[in-house]
Amino acid sequence: MTISQRPLGRTGHQATILGLGGEGILRTYGEEKGAQAVIEAALAAGIGYFESARAYSGSEAYLGKGLKGHRDQIFLTSKSHGRTYKEAMSHLSITLKNLDTDHLDLWQIHDVRTEADLEAITAPGGALEAFREAKEKGWTRFVGVTGHHDPEVLRRALDLYNFDTVLLPVNPAEPHDRSFLPLAAEAQARGLGVIGMKVLCRGLLPRMAEEPGKLTFELVAYALSQPVSLVVIGCDTPGHVKALAHAAENFVTMTPDEQKTLEEAVAPLAQRLMYYKP
């Protein structure tokens, strides 16, 4: 199977429109066999973007082992939730060791939620200094920022540094409350690679149990119809990987009316689906 590609903003990298996220079975400990099977399924499906985070349990170690021999063919990313230079640099050291690499393709400031986060990151000795230095020294090729609590906080974060990417929620519940979708469009217009997350709303839609294949197809198509470079989704099984890869490779851009219909269908459950917002 071949996964289509899109430009990752101004980075010059052509990213597969589907990436394997660091959640799902990767966000565990002691599931080496299952994690390896998911990683192998992703590689077999043609997925070239692999994401983790220092906060994601054993995810980095799983990827370090599972991607051995494929480093030159994939785009490898992780994140640090550290808010000081010391914390972030400590995380980076562990991340590089776990992933068995001397550099990341993308390192992201993880989960920027509040004004206090912004102040801590940019303060003297703050995490932003670590990210800037890591890029200058080649420990990461690109630097990004992520958030899913407050679009205004994340918008302000984009003005703190010349970030290469932004990771934010993209799903049909978003338009109903403090939507991140306008920020996705703004970031893309500014030349950032926009990465969509929370695409499947953690499977909380009742139809997910009744029509998992059809609904997965719709939600992936909805997300990829937005101004994004790619979407990242965590998986539990090789079958889940294959279903997502099929949805990504065969998606057709939704018309505005089709998007509106799906948004209206999830409206009664929108607040529950946006579990990631306060």
CATH number for the domain including 214?
3.20.20.100
Average pLDDT over residues 136-165: 98
- Look at the alpha carbons of 215, 184, 114, 95 in this order and tell me if their dihedral is positive or negative: positive
**6 CB burial (10 A radius; 0-12, 13-18, 19+):** middle
- Per-residue tokens: 133: 């230095």
Q: Could you list the residue range(s) of the whole structural domain that residue 180 is in? A: 5-273
DSSP state, 192?
-
Predicted TM-score of the model (pTM) = 0.97
Give the relative orientation of helices 238-250 and 212-224 as an angle to the nearest 10 degrees: 50
If pLDDT is split at 50, 70 and 90, which confidence band does 207 have?
A: confident
Binning pLDDT at 50, 70 and 90, where does residue 50 land? very high
Distance, in Å, from the CA atom of 198 to the CA atom of 178, rounded to the nearest integer, reads 15
- pLDDT score of 44 more than 90: yes
**1 pLDDT exceeds 90?**
no
If pLDDT is split at 50, 70 and 90, which confidence band does 211 have?
confident
Mean pLDDT for 176-192 is 98
The answer to whether the beta carbons of residues 113 and 75 sit under 8 Å apart is: no
Q: What percent of the chain has pLDDT over 90?
A: 95
Q: What is residue 72's DSSP assignment?
A: G
Is residue 74 scored above 70 in pLDDT?
A: yes
Q: Is residue 278 part of a domain?
A: no
Q: Is the pLDDT confidence value at 34 over 90?
A: yes
What are the beta bridge partners of residue 233? Answer: 20
**Residue 228 in contact with residue 170, Cβ under 8 Å?**
yes
pLDDT bracket for residue 2 (50, 70, 90): confident
For the segment 30-48, the average pLDDT, to the nearest whole number, is 98
Beta-sheet strands, E only, within the chain: 5-7, 14-16, 18-24, 49-51, 75-80, 104-109, 140-146, 165-169, 193-197, 230-235
The answer to the question of residue 61 being in a domain is yes
Task: Please give the Cα distance from 188 to 166 (Å, whole number).
Answer: 9
Q: Per residue in 88-147, pLDDT tens?
A: 999 999 999 999 999 999 999 999 999 999 999 999 999 999 999 999 999 999 999 999
Q: Is residue 50 part of a domain?
A: yes
∠ CA 225-230-206, rounded to 5°: 65
Q: What is the pLDDT of residues 221-233, one digit of tens each?
A: 999 999 999 999 9
Give the count of beta carbons closer than 10 Å to the beta carbon of residue 72.
Answer: 5
How far is 46 from 51, CA to CA, in rounded Å?
15
Mean pLDDT, range 149-159, rounded to an integer: 98
Strands (E), 25-151: 49-51, 75-80, 104-109, 140-146
Residue type at position 100: D
Residue 217: pLDDT band (50, 70, 90) is: very high
Tokens 């998992």 correspond to: 212
Average pLDDT, the chain: 97
Q: How many CA atoms lie within 13 A of 29 on its CB side?
A: 2
What share of the chain has pLDDT > 70, as a percent? 100
Give the total number of structural domains in the chain.
Answer: 1
